[in-house]
Chain A
Amino acid sequence: MSLKKKKQLDAQVVEARRQHRRKSLIMIKRNWLLYLVLLPAVLYIATFCYAPMYGLQIAFRNFRIADGIVGSEWAGLKWFNRFFNTPRFWLILKNTLTISLYSLAVSFPLPIALALILNNVRNAKYKKFAQTITYMPHFISTVVLVGMMSVFFSPRSGVVNTVLGLLGIEPIYFMGTPEYFSHMYAWSGVWQTMGWNSIIYMAALAGVDPSLHEAAMIDGANKIKRVIHIDLPTIVPTISILLIMNFGKVMSVGYEKVYLMQNDLNASTSEIISTYVYKMGVLNQQYSYSTAINLFNNVINFLLVVTMNKVVKKLSGSGLW
Chain B
Amino acid sequence: MNTKKIKHSWDDRIFDWICNIFLFLFIVVVFYPLWFVLMASFSDPVYVNNGSILIIPKGFTLEGYQMVFGDSKVWFGYLNTIIYTVCGTIFGTIVTVLGGYVLSRKDLVGRDIIMKLMVFTMYFSGGTIPLYLVVQKLGLLNTRTVLIVLGSVSVYNLIIVRSFMASTIPDELHDAATIDGCGNGNFIVRVVLPLSKAVIAVMVLYIAVAHWNSYFNALMYVTDSNKMPLQLYLREILVLSSSLANSFDVDPELQEKMQHMSMIIKYSMIVVSTGPILCVYPFIQKYFVKGVMIGSVKG
- Whether A and B touch (Cβ < 8 Å) is answered with yes
Which stretch, B16-24, B80-88, B251-259, touches the partner chain A?
Answer: B16-24
Decide yes or no: A200 and B12 within 8 Å by CB, A54-B126, A55-B129, A117-B23 being known contacts: no
- Chain A residues with CB below 8 A from B122, complex form: 245, 248
Interface string of A15-41 (1 = CB under 8 A from B): 000000000100110010111011011
Is B31 an interface residue, CB under 8 A from the partner? yes
Interface contact B30-A320, CB-CB below 8 Å: no
- Chain B residues with CB below 8 A from A28, complex form: 109
Interface contact B274-A139, CB-CB below 8 Å: yes
- Chain A residues with CB below 8 A from B250, complex form: none
- Chain B residues with CB below 8 A from A320, complex form: 115, 119, 159
Interface string of A76-100 (1 = CB under 8 A from B): 0000000000000000000000000
Interface contact A52-B282, CB-CB below 8 Å: no
- Chain A residues with CB below 8 A from B291, complex form: 206, 208-210
Which stretch, A2-10, A101-109, A125-133, touches the partner chain B?
Answer: A125-133
Decide yes or no: A206 and B292 within 8 Å by CB, A200-B202, A305-B123 being known contacts: yes
Interface contact A52-B163, CB-CB below 8 Å: no
Contact of A148 among B36, B159, B199 (CB under 8 A): B36
Interchain CA distance A157-B29 in the complex, whole Å: 19
Separation in Å of the A283 CB from the closest CB of chain B? 13
Interface string of B203-237 (1 = CB under 8 A from A): 00100010001000000000000000000000000
Is B270 an interface residue, CB under 8 A from the partner? yes
Interchain CA distance A321-B116 in the complex, whole Å: 7
Interface string of A197-208 (1 = CB under 8 A from B): 001101111111
Interface contact A156-B202, CB-CB below 8 Å: no
Interface contact B99-A38, CB-CB below 8 Å: yes
Contact of B131 among A48, A119, A130, A162 (CB under 8 A): A48
Interface contact B288-A206, CB-CB below 8 Å: yes
- Chain B residues with CB below 8 A from A118, complex form: 23
Is A166 an interface residue, CB under 8 A from the partner? no
Is A285 an interface residue, CB under 8 A from the partner? no
Is B179 an interface residue, CB under 8 A from the partner? no
- Chain A residues with CB below 8 A from B98, complex form: 37-38, 40-41
Interface string of B122-136 (1 = CB under 8 A from A): 111111011101100
Interface string of A160-184 (1 = CB under 8 A from B): 0010000000000000000000000
Is A1 an interface residue, CB under 8 A from the partner? no
**Which interface residue of A49, A58, A69, A287 has the most chain B CB atoms within 10 A?**
A49
Interface contact A53-B29, CB-CB below 8 Å: no
Contact of A210 among B50, B114, B290 (CB under 8 A): B290
Separation in Å of the A301 CB from the closest CB of chain B? 5
Interface contact A210-B294, CB-CB below 8 Å: yes
- Chain B residues with CB below 8 A from A69, complex form: 129-130
Find residues 281-304 in chain A having any chain B CB closer than 8 Å to their own CB.
287, 291, 295, 298-299, 301-302
Interface contact B270-A144, CB-CB below 8 Å: yes
Is A307 an interface residue, CB under 8 A from the partner? no
Is B15 an interface residue, CB under 8 A from the partner? yes
Interface contact B12-A140, CB-CB below 8 Å: no
Interface contact A154-B51, CB-CB below 8 Å: yes
Decide yes or no: A117 and B19 within 8 Å by CB, A241-B163, A320-B159 being known contacts: yes
Interface contact B163-A321, CB-CB below 8 Å: no
Is A237 an interface residue, CB under 8 A from the partner? yes
Separation in Å of the A251 CB from the closest CB of chain B? 10
What are 22 A-B pairs with beta-carbon distances under 8 A? A31-B105, A31-B107, A41-B99, A48-B134, A50-B121, A52-B133, A52-B134, A55-B129, A128-B285, A130-B23, A136-B278, A141-B270, A143-B238, A144-B37, A144-B266, A203-B287, A204-B164, A206-B290, A220-B4, A222-B8, A224-B15, A321-B119
Give 3 closest A-B pairs by Cβ, nearest first: A55-B126, A157-B51, A41-B99
Q: A141-B270, A209-B297, A222-B8 are in contact. List 12 more A-B contacts (CB 8 A).
A: A31-B105, A34-B102, A53-B124, A120-B19, A136-B30, A157-B50, A194-B30, A205-B288, A206-B198, A207-B167, A222-B15, A238-B160
Interface residues in chain A, defined as those with a beta carbon under 8 Å from any beta carbon in chain B? 24, 27-28, 31, 33-35, 37-38, 40-42, 44-45, 47-56, 58, 69, 114, 117-122, 128, 130-141, 143-144, 147-148, 151-152, 154, 156-159, 162, 191, 194-195, 199-200, 202-211, 220, 222-224, 234, 237-238, 240-242, 245, 248, 287, 291, 295, 298-299, 301-302, 305, 318, 320-321
